[in-house]
Amino acid sequence: DTAVSQTPKYLVTQMGNDKSIKCEQNLGHDTMYWYKQDSKKFLKIMFSYNNKELIINETVPNRFSPKSPDKAHLNLHINSLELGDSAVYFCASSRRLAHSTDTQYFGPGTRLTVL
């Protein structure tokens, strides 16, 4: 009965490959997010998304794209992987977008290693 789940937990791949990370939430939330935590443990938001609006952090390369088949899922696609993409990626969800009282619930993270 995990609230926010991610697969895979670990992902090791070569430079230049294209990969996806999946995220699912069973909380009935409308909004989902992707965060990147780099080797210095700094946690940065990449995207926030609901069925009406995608907000992109302007520092995110366009090789990264979120795709949402339905409200409960937000997958992260990464094209042409680079060494600097190595990090832990966290998915999160909250009830609504742009509402300051909503708590975000985080998944367990996906550790991506690009060789």
Partner 1 sequence: DAKTTQPPSMDCAEGRAANLPCNHSTISGNEYVYWYRQIHSQGPQYIIHGLKNNETNEMASLIITEDRKSSTLILPHATLRDTAVYYCIVGGNQFYFGTGTSLTVIP
The footprint of partner 1 (CB under 8 A) covers: 4, 35, 41-45, 48, 55, 57, 88, 90, 92, 97-101, 103-109
Cα separation, 67 vs 73, whole angstroms: 8
Residue closer to partner 1, measured from CB, 62 or 103: 103
Shortest separation between residue 97's beta carbon and partner 1, angstroms: 6
Which residue in 17, 15, 34, 16 sits closest to 25, CA to CA?
Answer: 34
Nearer Cβ to partner 1 (78/89) = 89
Secondary structure (3-state) at 97: coil
Closest distance to partner 1 from the beta carbon of 38 (Å): 12
Q: Could you tell me whether strands 19-25 and 54-56 are parallel, antiparallel, or unpaired per DSSP bridges?
A: unpaired
Q: Which is nearer to partner 1, 19 or 36 (CB)?
A: 36
DSSP-derived secondary structure letter, 104 = P
- Distance of closest approach, residue 1 Cβ to partner 1, in angstroms: 16
Q: What are phi and psi of 53, to 5 degrees?
A: -145, 135
